[in-house]
């Protein structure tokens, strides 16, 4: 488990991290979210000892030190590859930095390339690969040594939906093996889909911390997704409806005045008959993100 307590970092007049505290647990995925400049990358760099900081960071109850790095897989936001090297040379080099032998790594490269559907072979020059396939090679270099602690800084950036799904599958497989995983993303759908927990930073401070569902529930189940032949004008006149958005033919998103109004609306809309869709939910992470970031501009 990763434990961070009162992490604090300043760059001249910028308070990049202000008493940041959270835990990332074994066998769980934590999403670190926040607007640009919120402190996500600074948090990662502090964990990896790339910079000096105040506070406490421990991995399995011990400070992170040189021997610990063999257990860590890190994908930085800014990708970097040795373009004149071959795929095999690149992956073997990074695995050696994590104390894996060339023989051990070479025996696994083809399998990883198949998992990520890399277009090329082990002897392909990196510069000959597309940007998407180069990114896959960097992901393989991050994961092939089977790290117990994985840090991914914007891993989905530049990936199309199909390749993003391949990465999600690899992340979930590492989770199933007990790895501790943290990744940052501006795409709240990715966070909501695969994360167990989340931490939101705003201007260097933690403003949300907990399981994804508990965080969503903090904001109340005020959203209703419904499919009904009732007209928009009829729904808007109901006392329980605060606002309404059309999602498609006979499909609406209703914002309730109060969560308990959902029961009243169900009885009114269904009238005791079958109804195709009626789902009462808390706001999505994307909506919560926009609300919390928007507080800076209120």
Q: Is it the case that residue 21 has pLDDT exceeding 80?
A: yes
Give me the chain's average pLDDT, please.
Answer: 93
Q: Dihedral (C-alpha) 120, 125, 131, 133: value to the nearest 10 degrees? A: 30
Please say if the pLDDT value at position 131 is more than 90: no
78 pLDDT tier (thresholds 50, 70, 90): confident
Give the bridge partners for 2, in sequence order.
24, 59
Secondary structure (H, E, C), 40-70: HHHHHHHHCCCCCCEEEEEECCEECCHHHHH
124: left (phi over 0), alpha (psi -120 to 50) or beta: beta
pLDDT (0 to 100) of residue 198: 95
* pLDDT at position 66 over 90: no
Handedness of CA 79, 180, 6, 189 (dihedral sign): positive
Q: 171 pLDDT exceeds 90?
A: yes
The pLDDT of residue 208: 95
Average pLDDT over residues 85-111: 96
Q: In this prediction, what percent of the chain has a pLDDT beyond 90?
A: 83
Q: What does the pLDDT average to over 102-122? A: 94
* Least confident range of 24-28, 62-66, 157-161, 188-192: 157-161
Q: How many whole angstroms separate alpha carbon 90 and alpha carbon 188?
A: 32
Where are the extended beta strands (E) located within the chain? 2-11, 14-24, 29-33, 54-59, 62-63, 72-75, 149-153, 180-184, 197-202, 205-211, 223-227, 241-248, 251-256, 277-281
* pLDDT tens track for 181-234: 999 988 898 999 999 999 999 999 999 999 999 999 999 999 999 999 999 999
The residue-averaged pLDDT of 103-115 equals 95
Confidence of residue 296 (pLDDT cuts 50, 70, 90): low
Q: Find the mean pLDDT for residues 44-63.
A: 95
């Amino acid at each position: 488990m990763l434990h961070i307590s009162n992490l604090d970092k300043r760059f001249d007049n910028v308070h990049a991290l202000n008493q940041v505290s959270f835990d990332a647990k074994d066998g769980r995925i934590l999403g670190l979210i926040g607007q640009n400049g919120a402190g996500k990358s600074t948090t990662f760099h502090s964990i990896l000892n790339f910079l000096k900081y105040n506070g406490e960071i421990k991995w399995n109850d011990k400070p992170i030190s040189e021997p610990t790095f063999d257990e860590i897989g890190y994908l930085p936001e800014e990708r970097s590859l040795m373009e004149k090297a071959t795929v095999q040379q690149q992956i073997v080099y990074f695995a050696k930095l994590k104390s894996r032998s060339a023989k051990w790594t070479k025996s696994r490269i083809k399998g990883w390339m198949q998992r990520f559907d890399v277009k090329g072979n082990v002897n392909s020059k990196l510069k000959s690969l597309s940007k998407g396939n180069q990114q896959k090679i960097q992901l393989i270099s991050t994961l092939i040594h089977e790290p117990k602690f994985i840090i991914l800084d914007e891993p989905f950036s530049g990936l199309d939906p199909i390749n993003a799904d391949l990465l999600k599958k690899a992340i979930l497989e590492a989770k199933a093996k007990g790895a501790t995983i943290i990744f940052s993303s501006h795409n709240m759908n990715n966070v909501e889909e695969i994360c167990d927990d989340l931490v939101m930073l705003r201007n260097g401070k933690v403003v949300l911390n907990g399981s994804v569902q508990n965080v969503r529930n903090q904001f109340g189940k005020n959203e209703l997704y419904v499919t009904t032949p009732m007209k928009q004008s009829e729904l808007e006149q109901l006392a329980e409806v605060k606002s309404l958005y059309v999602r498609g033919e006979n499909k609406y998103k209703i914002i309730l005045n109060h969560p308990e109004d959902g029961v009243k609306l169900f009885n009114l809309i269904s009238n005791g008959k079958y109804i195709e869709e009626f789902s009462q939910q808390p706001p999505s992470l994307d909506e919560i993100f926009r609300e919390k970031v928007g507080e800076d501009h209120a």
